[in-house]
């Protein structure tokens, strides 16, 4: 085990590339993410489908309302994907060094990277969800509106009012979902190996 393999330039490049792609995806999916969050939190809404919720938000709050809280979303996506890609590629360098990679090993690395990612970035997603829903017009009167000045203020208020562990709310369901990106990476790595073998044969 060599620390230089973990803190390598190659791992950093993969992590930055993954983070940049996630930012682009975040811009596209911000409106959908808000509609899904509102559907889950505000059970009193009559509209249940994503297009219907989006239409309702725009009608009630304006055309820019679906992009409320876009900055926390972009920050969370960027950090989350940076951590995931960095962990996955560092593990690949350490575990596969001098050996032949296998689908089983790729899946295990994806799961470990996913677990590390969830444990490190769940607080960001908790704050992100709170900020994203701030200012929304809830149909359920039992939901109390929040007033956060920004990301740091949200962290501070949540810790003061609910305790530090509140930042890791929803960790267990997130851990159960790490298999999804792990399987994607396993298939991606397998296809990449097959294509590289095909290219070498042609040469």
pLDDT, tens digit (0-9, with 9 covering 90-100), for 118-152: 999 999 989 888 887 776 666 666 667 778 888 89
Stated length of the chain: 203
Greater confidence, 111 or 64? 111
* Start-to-end C-alpha separation, the chain: 34
Greater confidence, 102 or 14? 102
Q: Quickly state the pLDDT bin for 37 (edges 50, 70, 90).
A: low
Q: Is the pLDDT of residue 48 over 80?
A: no
pTM: 0.69
pLDDT, tens digit (0-9, with 9 covering 90-100), for 7-17: 677 777 878 87
> What is the rounded distance in angstroms from the CA atom of residue 104 to the CA atom of residue 171?
25
* 114: helix, strand or coil: helix
Closest CA to 130 of 181, 48, 68: 68
């Amino acid at each position: 085990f060599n620390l230089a393999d973990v803190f390598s330039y190659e791992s950093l490049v993969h992590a930055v590339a993954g983070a940049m792609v996630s930012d682009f995806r975040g811009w596209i999916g911000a409106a959908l993410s808000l509609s899904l969050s509102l559907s889950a939190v505000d059970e009193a809404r009559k509209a249940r489908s994503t297009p219907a919720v989006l239409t309702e938000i725009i009608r009630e709050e304006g055309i820019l309302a679906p992009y409320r809280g876009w900055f926390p979303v972009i920050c969370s996506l960027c950090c989350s994907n940076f951590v995931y890609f960095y962990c996955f590629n560092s593990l690949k360098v350490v575990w596969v060094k001098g050996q032949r990679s296998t689908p089983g090993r790729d899946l295990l690395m994806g799961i470990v990277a996913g677990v590390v990612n969830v444990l490190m970035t769940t607080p960001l997603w908790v704050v992100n969800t709170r900020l994203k829903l701030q200012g929304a017009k809830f149909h359920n009167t039992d939901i109390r509106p929040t007033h956060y000045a920004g990301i740091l203020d949200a962290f501070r208020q949540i810790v003061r009012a609910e305790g530090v562990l509140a930042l890791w709310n929803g960790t267990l369901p997130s851990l159960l979902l790490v298999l999804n990106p792990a399987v994607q990476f396993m298939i991606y790595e397998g296809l990449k190996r097959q294509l590289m073998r095909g290219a070498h044969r042609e040469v």
